[in-house]
Amino acid sequence: MRYGIAITALLALGSSADAAAISDRASSGGWGLASILSAFGISVSNDAGKHGPTFSINYNAHGNGVGAWQKAVSHSIPWRNNFQGWSTYKANGVNLGSWLEVEQGNTPNVIPSQYPDEWTFCSAVGKGACGPVLENHYRTWFTTSDIDNFARYGINTIRIPTTYAAWYAVPGSQLYTGNQLAYLRTITNYALSKGMHVIIGLHSLPGGANSLDIGEALGHGNWWYNQTNFDFSMKVVDQVLGFIQTTINPNQITFEPANEPCDDIRNFATPNTISYPNGVNYYNTYLRAVYAKIQKVNRNIPMMISDAFMGASYWAPFWQQGQNIVFDSHFYFFAASGVYSQFVSDITCGQASAAATSFPVFVGEFSIESKYNNTLAARRQIYQSQQYAYAQYLSGSAFWDGKLDVTDRVDGEGTKNDYWSFANLIKDGVVLPGGAINSSFC
Ligand SMILES: *[C@@H]1O[C@H](CO)[C@@H](O)[C@H](O)[C@H]1NC(C)=O
Ligand SMILES: *[C@@H]1O[C@H](CO)[C@@H](O)[C@H](O)[C@H]1NC(C)=O
Ligand SMILES: *[C@@H]1O[C@H](CO)[C@@H](O)[C@H](O)[C@H]1NC(C)=O
């Protein structure tokens, strides 16, 4: 994800009016989902007041960065391929992002630069023309040889974002429905055959989950408070669960039914990413509906809950011990206020433990770009400090992204590829064989 760029583009498109409209709908409250929900025995959630405290990384909380690079602690973590539930698992993961859900900002050579997202591209050139471009990307961007390569570096978990259009052709949607599932099946079964755990995610949702390119299309926020789109989402979820059940090992797959949802883009990546109480109630209604569906299909499939940058602690009170859930928190240091690279390792060590809850927490996305003063030499420590801290205090992590194709310069040394591409980190010796750790700060 590169939401900094997407938000800039969104504001350039003048979509703050859309954001205001979404926010008005949120505060007017109320939507008529009862009939859809009664079909699986749940009702509209109205218990938003039960939420816990928000948690967001406090970038200035720890340390002074002095001498960071001189410190290099080793840890022996035997990354295991024996997932038996998130409460005992330690993920050493990588995302296969910008593959089946293409992000213009991560793979600019797939979607031509005049289009901000797949929706706009396909709508402009027609599906007959965007389809072959996307199919070629699906066929080539990640293949089983990448899985072999990642396995050599200790990767035991892969997280695969998809668009809803991979699963269900929603009428009127300009997202492309093609052979995504064939590619997904090949990679998933291959990774499972290597003993890996696979997380299948819905990045986009019908109508638009967060007004960003990744949520359907830039400026689309109609997933929220929209009965039609809720209904389509349920159909998408049915397809995902059906797919999981026909893989070679359904009990090694986690399902994440939303990614970074946000009902008012002006608050994206803040502790108000989802509005209180209406957004919270709507999101919980959806999650509870998905959870009920999972329980009917296969109770061994964990549901992964995107914390929408509000912290797992905010959402934990809505769930009961024994429910098969895991939270997904995304920690990035490239966008937030003023983080210099030499502070990141120390911050990471201190704050991973503070992100823990009574439910397992997985860091489903992180990168090693800092806002200021990136250095190539510091990458190993910054990568390994996060890899270690997230496994030590939480349920592990998945780096974003497996590959990247962006040569824009970062602040300091190098390009985006040097800080966001796992394949590049392997080539440059930042990531060690077997996922070994010899340069952690903590
Ligand atoms: C629901 O979302 C669709 C777009 O996905 C939009 O056309 C429709 O107007 C929305 N309905 C309501 C009631 O807002
Ligand atoms: C950023 O890096 C430059 C060059 O290495 C260094 O002189 C400067 O002190 C750094 N800034 C901070 C705030 O550490
Ligand atoms: C960590 O291991 C790599 C690869 O063997 C090596 O190049 C590097 O010097 C080691 N770093 C430390 C601090 O031992």
Q: pLDDT-based confidence at 350, cuts 50/70/90?
A: confident
pLDDT score at 64: 62
Tokens of 163: 């668009």
Distance CA 237, CA 116 (A): 27
Residue 304 lies in a domain: yes
pLDDT score at 177: 98
Give the position of tokens 């789109």: 229
pLDDT score at 31: 57
Length of the chain: 442
Q: Convert 96-120 to b/e letters by CB count within 10 Å (16 or more is b).
A: bbbbbbbbbbbbeebbeeebbbbbb
Domain that holds residue 191: 3-102+145-169+178-440
Distance CA 76, CA 238 (A): 41
Distance CA 305, CA 370 (A): 26
Does residue 199 surpass a pLDDT of 80? yes
Residue 140 lies in a domain: no
Pocket lining: 40 vs ligand 2, CB cutoff 6 Å: no
Q: Convert 310-321 to b/e letters by CB count within 10 Å (16 or more is b).
A: bbbbbbbebbee
Q: What is the DSSP string of 235-246?
A: HHHHHHHHHHHT
Structure-model confidence comparison of residues 371 and 256, the more confident one:
256
Does residue 8 surpass a pLDDT of 90? no
Residue 323 lies in a domain: yes
Ligand nearest to the CA of 340: 2
CATH of the domain at 319: 3.20.20.80
Residue 369 lies in a domain: yes
Distance CA 192, CA 158 (A): 10
Distance 382 CA to ligand 3 centre (A): 14
Pocket lining: 107 vs ligand 1, CB cutoff 6 Å: no
Structure-model confidence comparison of residues 387 and 19, the more confident one:
387
Residue 116 lies in a domain: no
Q: What is the DSSP string of 353-395?
A: GGG--SS-EEEEEEEEEESB-B-GGGHHHHHHHHHHHHHHHSS
Residue 18 lies in a domain: yes
> Which of 60, 339, 370, 373 maximizes ligand 2 atoms within 8 Å of its Cβ, making it the mutation to test the pocket?
373
The upper half-sphere exposure of residue 28, i.e. CA atoms within 13 Å in the direction of its Cβ, equals: 11
Structure-model confidence comparison of residues 362 and 16, the more confident one:
362
Count of Cβ atoms closer than 10 Å to residue 271 Cβ: 16
Query: What is the count of structural domains for the chain?
Result: 1
Q: Tell me the mean pLDDT in the region 61-84.
A: 81
- The pTM for the full model equals 0.93
Tokens of 269: 């990546």
Q: Tell me the mean pLDDT in the region 255-266.
A: 97
Does residue 16 surpass a pLDDT of 50? no
> What 3-state class would DSSP assign to 206?
coil
pLDDT score at 34: 72
Residue 120 lies in a domain: no
Pocket lining: 34 vs ligand 3, CB cutoff 6 Å: no
Closest by alpha carbon to 227, among 403, 32, 428? 32
Residue 59 lies in a domain: yes
pLDDT digits (tens, 9 = 90+) for 227-253: 999 999 999 999 999 999 999 999 999
Does residue 348 surpass a pLDDT of 60? yes
pLDDT score at 376: 97
